[in-house]
Amino acid sequence: MKPFRFSLTFYILSAVSLLLVLTWLLLSLISFKTAENDLLAQKGEDTRLLLGAIVSVLPRPLAPPDPGSGVGRYLEQLRQDGSFDGLLVVDETWRRLYAYPANSAVDDSLLSVLNSGRSLFQISPDHATCRLYSAILEQGKVIGAARLTLSLRPAQERLSSSRRLFIAYFALDFLLLLVLGSYLLSRTVVSPFKKLLQATRRITAGDLGVSVNVAGSAEVAELSESFNSMLVALREKRVEVEEKVAALTWANKELVEARSEAVRSEKMASVGLLAAGMAHEIGTPLAAIMGY
């Protein structure tokens, strides 16, 4: 039973598909990571600008903002923003001047900013929120600190949407490449090889009058020319063999005729010997009789 084997097109397309998938995985990993880093960096810059604007409008000296004042209305508008997730403002004595949500607590990072006066930007482990800690300065002296928390869900949704769009484009390109690659392989590789295979089967059946002319790459064209050269050599050898066979047939015929002639000559010689013997056997008594 002939073993099952995949076609050449299948092997080539499988190798190309594997390379495409590996390339896509590498590019997607690099592009998505780069896009995420750029988006987080942009989000961090936006957070710094927003917190800087909030700190700049806070009353001096620091005091809880009046809900009816411009600062209070500004903070209320910020709370309506979907990405706004929390704000905590404390003075140098850790007293909370403004807290949203109301149960927001002072953490170690905020205390560190109060002590050092240096800003601090953090992203949660699940990349759901980002926090910016900033010191509030008055004539170079730290008089308080603020912590702004923004949600990264909109950014993550944009990234997810970009990933889905990228995957859809890749799937479409992948299918187009497979269809186009299958067509090109069939035209330039598979079809010439099938023609050569058919010619080989005709040669096996004894037909040496075939000729293969296939279009394709340089290697395929060279293989076709070599195949035709082999056919010419086989035809020449066939003619030479037929001539040798004809000569051997003629020599064998002459050999058979010579053998037949030798057999006849041997038979005639045997008849002559028999006749001589009979003449001697008859002649001896007759000579005795005649002498008597």
For 184-198, how does the pLDDT look when each residue is reduced to its tens digit (9 = 90+)? 777 777 777 777 778
pLDDT computed for residue 212 by the predictor: 74
Cα(158)–Cα(142) distance, rounded to whole angstroms? 38
Cα(193)–Cα(196) distance, rounded to whole angstroms? 5
Residue type, position 178, single letter: L
pLDDT tens by residue, 46-98: 888 888 888 888 888 888 877 777 777 888 888 887 788 889 999 888 888 88
DSSP assignment letter at 133: E
Q: Given pLDDT bands bounded at 50, 70 and 90, which one contains residue 105?
A: confident
pLDDT computed for residue 146 by the predictor: 92
DSSP assignment letter at 211: -
pLDDT computed for residue 133 by the predictor: 93
Least confident of 125-129, 141-145, 234-238, 276-280: 276-280
- Which strands form 120-123's sheet, in the order they lie side by side? 96-100, 84-91, 141-151, 129-138, 120-123
Cα(144)–Cα(127) distance, rounded to whole angstroms? 27
pLDDT computed for residue 183 by the predictor: 79
Cα(47)–Cα(84) distance, rounded to whole angstroms? 10
pTM listed for this prediction? 0.56
Q: Using CB atoms within 10 A of its CB, is residue 169 exposed (0-12), middle (13-18) or buried (19+)? A: exposed
pLDDT tens by residue, 195-223: 777 878 877 777 777 777 776 667 777 77
Q: Given pLDDT bands bounded at 50, 70 and 90, which one contains residue 4?
A: low
3-state secondary structure of 195: helix
pLDDT computed for residue 5 by the predictor: 67
Whole-angstrom CA distances from 177 to 79, 133, 185, 266, 277 are: 50, 50, 12, 87, 102
pLDDT computed for residue 216 by the predictor: 64
Residue 286 predicted with pLDDT over 60: yes
Higher confidence at residue 271 or residue 113? 113
pLDDT computed for residue 147 by the predictor: 92
Any residues with CB less than 8 A from the CB of 221 and at least 6 apart, and which?
214, 215
How many CB atoms sit inside 10 A of residue 65's CB?
Answer: 21
How many CB atoms sit inside 10 A of residue 62's CB?
Answer: 20
Q: What does the pLDDT average to over 230-255?
A: 86
Contact 207, 239 (CB under 8 A): no
